[in-house]
Amino acid sequence: MGIAQNIVEVRSEIPSGVELVAVSKFHPASAVMEAYDAGQRCFGESRVQELLQKVDVLPSDIRWHFIGHLQTNKVKMLVGKTSLIESVDSERLLKLIDSESAKAGVVTNVLLQVHVAQEETKFGFYPEELLEYFRERRFETLTSTHICGIMGMASNTDDEDRIREDFHRISEIFHQVADDSALGLRGFDKLSMGMSGDWQIAVDEGANIVRIGTRIFGARQY
């Protein structure tokens, strides 16, 4: 089945109000174009170089989400190219995005990535670390970065209860911050959870952004 048809199907399955990020990493620009022609405008990439190459050759009304681990030495190249960096996994990275954005005269939209999964290999703020960041109002020092919400991943397992538990936890953390009116955050309303294999559970648990690759573009050739 083709990419265009997959896009149409996936879009029809996802409830309205949930944004679909078509994860095009490791797929060529021509594949992105097929999805674009089927009406998709939001795409996700996990490597800076690959994203920049695609930005250069693809239509300018595409909104690019960066979803991979971002190395500090690549921040400067990425700033100004994305509509959302979903994978801010440390305060150090956040501060660097802020200073590079200020230098470039742009405001960068980001999500903070929270780590609840079992795997040590995954990145992100630990829940307590993230809550403390807001409790101590450390976000107030940012001048050129807008924290729009939280991104998270479930453990890599077939155990649906475990996956649901992970998403539930991420959702709780999101709400602890988003619903705390004393923090005075504006536009902290995005919760990005769910991939090809688990997005239904993520949406059940409150996700309003899902990041789907394989289900749309097929298996990746690494």
Ligand X SMILES: *Cc1c(COP(=O)(O)O)cnc(C)c1O
State in angstroms the smallest separation of the CB of 219 from ligand X.
8
Secondary structure (DSSP) of 122-159: --SB-HHHHHHHHHTTGGGG-SSEEEEEEEE---SSS-
Provide, rounded to whole angstroms, the least separation between the CB of residue 183 and ligand X.
26
Q: How far is the CB of 65 from ligand X (least distance, A)?
A: 9
Residue number with CB closer to ligand X (23 or 191): 23
Minimum distance from CB of 50 to ligand X (Å)?
Answer: 12
Q: Give me 81's structure tokens.
A: 């190219």
Residue whose CB is nearest to ligand X in the complex, by number? 213
Q: How far is the CB of 185 from ligand X (least distance, A)?
A: 23
Please identify, using beta-carbon distances, which residue of 23 and 177 lies nearer to ligand X.
23
What torsion, rounded to 10 degrees, do the Cα atoms 136, 138, 140, 146 define?
-120
- How many other CB atoms are there within 10 angstroms of residue 130's CB atom? 21
Report in angstroms how near the CB of residue 96 gets to ligand X at its nearest: 20
Whose Cβ is closer to ligand X: residue 173's or residue 209's? 209
Cα dihedral across residues 71, 85, 93, 119: positive or negative: negative
Q: Which is nearer to ligand X, 67 or 173 (CB)?
A: 67
Nearer to ligand X, 64 or 132 (CB): 64
Residue 72: CB atoms within 10 A of its CB come to: 13
Whether the CB-CB separation of 85 and 66 falls below 8 Å is answered with yes
Helix axes 3-13, 29-37, angle to 10 degrees: 50
Comparison of 99 and 208: residue with beta carbon closer to ligand X: 208
Interface residues with ligand X (CB under 6 A)? Answer: 23, 25, 46, 67-68, 195-197, 211-215
d(CA 76, CA 96): 9
Q: At what angle do helices 127-135 and 160-178 cross, to 10 degrees?
A: 10
